[in-house]
Amino acid sequence: MMHARSIHLSLPLALALALASGCSCSDDDPIVTPDISVIDATDDDGSDGDTDGSDADTEPSEGVGPGDDGDDVPPTGCTVAADCKELALGPCEVPQCDDGRCVVGTEGDGVTCDDGDKCSLTSTCVEGTCTAKTFKNCIGEVDGPCRANVRCEAGDCKFDFATANTPCDDDNACTSGEVCSGGPTGCTGGESVCTEICGNGIDDDLNQATDCDDSECVADPSCIGACSFVQTLQCGDEVTVNPTDDPPTVQSTDYIDAWPCTNMSAPSDGPEVAWSVIATLGTKVTVSLSAAPDSARVHHLVDTGVTATCNKSQCVEEALSFTYTAPPAGERHHAVVDMQAEDAGPFTLKVDCEVCAPSCDGKQCGSDGCGGTCGSCTGGQSCSGGTCVAAPPNSTCLTAQPLPSTNLPFITTGTTAAGGNDLDLDPGNTCPGAGGLGIGLAGADVVYSFTPAAAGDYLFAIDAAFPATVYVVEDCTNPTATCVGAAGDTSPDGEQLVVALKLGVKYSVVIDTFSGTTSGPFTLTINKWPCSAVCDNKECGVDGCGGSCGTCTGGKVCGGSGQCVAAAGNDTCASAASIAAVPYSASGSTGNANHDFFVPPDFCPGAPSGDGTGGNDLVWKFTAPQNGKFRATLTPNGFDGLLSVLGSCSLSALDCLGASDVTGTTAEEVEFALAAGEAAWIVVDGATAGQSGAFELDLVSVDCTSSCVGKQCGSDGCGGSCGSCDPGETCSLSGQCLAPLLYDDCSAPGEITALPYQYAGGTELAKNDYTLSPEDGCDAGPTSAVYGKGPDLVFVYTSPIAQDVFFS
């Protein structure tokens, strides 16, 4: 027989008495408690009228009747509402305790609730129901002229695109007739009903492009930097004009407010008046401005073409007057007077001429002052100040001097003097900091390469006594299109460029002349940005962050330690110390020298890439008394030295006879052979910037046995010659005189007329005309060394169609 489980509950005394007496009661409480079933928790004794053996009998909920054993217990018991936590409640339902029983009540109106709809922002209870009061406004979030059925779904704003060609309004007052595209491009089309007025500083057609940034103005003179000529001026002419006359008495252009060579503290945004100046060849011409507003200047433009155009990119100088010698045909000179708008007014311009007396006193090259020349330079040298001097070794992209990217700041010195005008930024460029101006159009330049070890901002600072500029490009062969930053102006002082660079990209850093043809020495600083100036125990030199620790006076120079010291006597090739005989020994210090030399990458036998970058150096010249072999030894005292021997002082990479750079303070040795009367230049250098100090230099002759066995020409290994070849012949590497080889250079290449093609031959007789360096950027080309330093042949193939061609 099954027995019911016994449950014992304690009931309130009043309730127990009421049940015992069999009475009932009521009160005035309007809440009527519904009948509920009570569970009999005692064993079934049959008194409830059945003997079904059930574990729990159901008894009447009220009173005491037959079969009731008096142990009735309600399913839940409570004294306060907090006891009714187990009730299942809706958003606006609350638990209540009524006469010991838990019941569900309703929340009062206005109480905040959650209706479960993600598109509702606020909801409150209304008569027991949670009702939304505010909703997410998708109209303001995704509204547009071509968006329909804007709605909220599950908390997200949704919309449909309006049907194509539905009329719409793009909110631009200068367009009319727009229609919807039917897709994400929105409200498009329509006709422009406004016109851009070029040069008024207003976006007249409301297309978010003002003046020269608007396509309607690209051909306007104000945007191409062109000026209109009033007339030509000749010797003796004098004109007085007022560009502000109304009506105008002269033709003027009123737009060019940023000349490439301007020194004005404020933009020259007033009217400019331009003349073309005509003079006889060799005449010395002076153009001067007088009785003019304070802001007025005359700009000197040089047009090397034959179109007689006037363009701001031709500006080479700006002052109250300028002087030049009338050039040969094909070069035109223009005078443009400009001023600030608030200061505009009348002025007088005069042209004075005098017969020019040519002079070449003390000059090897350059101009004679009257349109002629005092001579030209050869052997890779360039003219600087009337003297033929060696061009800087890093004057081209091919010979760019590598710069370190770690242990910054890095400080090096150099010069643009005698450099070529190989690089510039064309007018209209978009390089940040260049202002669209033509930069370096006529000035000499030098090139460095820099590969960041980490991405970030870098400082490139120039300290120079000429109007230098610095710009950084990604492709040295295309600087205008790949420039990432530029800094410079016409003032002869320092420039600072801060530019964001990418990790591992090889950049070219160009030091150039901002405008004109001036050049000279400079100091270059590279550092991470931002940086802090450091001048501890220094009285001169740069501070590593674009500033200066002071300058030296009284003929002294800034030594490597940042102290002002007397300049070394043999600091350059021109002042090289002479070695009269061997053996030779000298002691000295590079601490009071400048940095003039470095060993170009991979050209110099015995030295790794790019040594001597930034180190102070001294020079000796040795002329061999007889054919022989010689050994130079550098013993540095506490610094990392570099020793190189040059066949000429042109600083050309190909003139390097040998070099040595052993890591640390170890002695450096270089052996080289010279013929009697042949000269060599010995350079004592520091391996890197900051490496300088005391040293000893020794030069001795070395035993050498000459040999010409099996040779018709070339070196005998001891400075002598095994013979020379007939005109037109070439001395091969094995010392044989051979007829000239076909296809030796680009002037006469071997032509491939059809594929497949095969040529059998050799390069032994050819010359070394071409190399391939990392700076050339050739696909799968060298990354750290120069390839192709041997003889070479040239072939040309013109493909008739687009195709892949395999060369082997």
Residue 25 confidence (pLDDT) above 50: no
Contacts with 599 (C-beta within 8 Å, 6 or more apart), sequence order: 607, 610, 611, 612, 642, 644, 656, 659, 661, 685
Does some domain include residue 565? no
Q: What is the mean pLDDT of residues 174-188?
A: 80
More confident residue, 692 or 69: 692
What is the SS3 assignment for 403? strand
Do 337 and 439 lie in a common domain? Answer: no
Number of structural domains, the chain? 6
| pLDDT interval class at 690 (50, 70, 90) | low
Does some domain include residue 97? no
| pLDDT interval class at 15 (50, 70, 90) | very low
User: In this predicted structure, which of 127-136, 592-601, 715-724 has the lowest mean pLDDT?
Assistant: 592-601
For residue 142, what is the enclosing H or E element? Answer: helix 138-142
Determine the Cα–Cα distance for residues 620 and 277; give it in Å rounded to an integer. 50
More confident residue, 647 or 481: 481
Residue 723 corresponds to which tokens in the numbers above?
A: 């013979």
Does some domain include residue 5? yes
Do 547 and 584 lie in a common domain? Answer: no
The torsion of the CA quartet 261, 264, 265, 271, rounded to 10 degrees, works out to -120
Please write the tens of the pLDDT for every residue from 643-668: 889 888 765 545 778 888 877 778 88
Do 395 and 503 lie in a common domain? Answer: yes
Closest to 145 measured CA to CA, from 176, 188, 106: 188
Does some domain include residue 680? yes
Closest to 121 measured CA to CA, from 97, 101, 103, 140: 140
Determine the Cα–Cα distance for residues 570 and 386; give it in Å rounded to an integer. 21
Does some domain include residue 7? yes
pLDDT of residue 516: 66
State what percent of residues in the chain have pLDDT above 90. Answer: 17
Contacts with 248 (C-beta within 8 Å, 6 or more apart), sequence order: none
pLDDT of residue 181: 81
User: In this predicted structure, which of 242-246, 379-383, 621-625, 638-642 has the lowest mean pLDDT?
Assistant: 379-383
Q: What is the mean pLDDT of residues 764-782?
A: 66
Determine the Cα–Cα distance for residues 360 and 456; give it in Å rounded to an integer. 52
pLDDT of residue 49: 45
pTM value surpassing 0.75 = no
Residue 256 confidence (pLDDT) above 90: no
User: In this predicted structure, which of 138-147, 367-376, 466-475, 599-608 has the lowest mean pLDDT?
Assistant: 599-608
Do 544 and 451 lie in a common domain? Answer: yes
Determine the Cα–Cα distance for residues 337 and 346; give it in Å rounded to an integer. 11
Residue 57 confidence (pLDDT) above 80: no
pLDDT of residue 199: 66
Do 330 and 440 lie in a common domain? Answer: no
Residue 40 confidence (pLDDT) above 70: no
Does some domain include residue 112? no
Residue 431 confidence (pLDDT) above 60: yes
Do 524 and 601 lie in a common domain? Answer: no
DSSP structure class, residue 253: B
Q: What is the mean pLDDT of residues 542-553?
A: 85
Do 527 and 437 lie in a common domain? Answer: yes
Burial class of residue 677 in the structure, from the number of CB atoms within 10 Å of its CB (0-12 exposed, 13-18 middle, 19+ buried): exposed
Do 272 and 321 lie in a common domain? Answer: yes
Residue 794 corresponds to which tokens in the numbers above?
A: 């040239």
Burial class of residue 451 in the structure, from the number of CB atoms within 10 Å of its CB (0-12 exposed, 13-18 middle, 19+ buried): middle
More confident residue, 783 or 597: 597
* Whole-number average pLDDT of the chain: 78
**Strand 401-403, strand 446-450: pairing:** parallel
| pLDDT interval class at 528 (50, 70, 90) | very high
Does some domain include residue 80? no
What CATH number is associated with residue 311? Answer: 2.60.120.380
| pLDDT interval class at 726 (50, 70, 90) | confident
Which range of residues forms the domain containing residue 615? 577-702
pLDDT of residue 41: 37
Determine contact, residues 283/333, Cβ cutoff 8 Å: no
pLDDT of residue 777: 64
Instruction: Return the bridge partners of 510, or none.
Output: 447, 471
Contacts with 653 (C-beta within 8 Å, 6 or more apart), sequence order: 393, 399, 600, 603, 604
User: In this predicted structure, which of 189-203, 243-257, 564-578, 778-792 has the lowest mean pLDDT?
Assistant: 778-792
Does some domain include residue 265? yes
Please write the tens of the pLDDT for every residue from 280-297: 777 889 999 999 998 899
Do 530 and 607 lie in a common domain? Answer: no
Determine contact, residues 304/331, Cβ cutoff 8 Å: yes
| pLDDT interval class at 500 (50, 70, 90) | very high
Do 687 and 765 lie in a common domain? Answer: no
Do 467 and 612 lie in a common domain? Answer: no
Do 691 and 605 lie in a common domain? Answer: yes
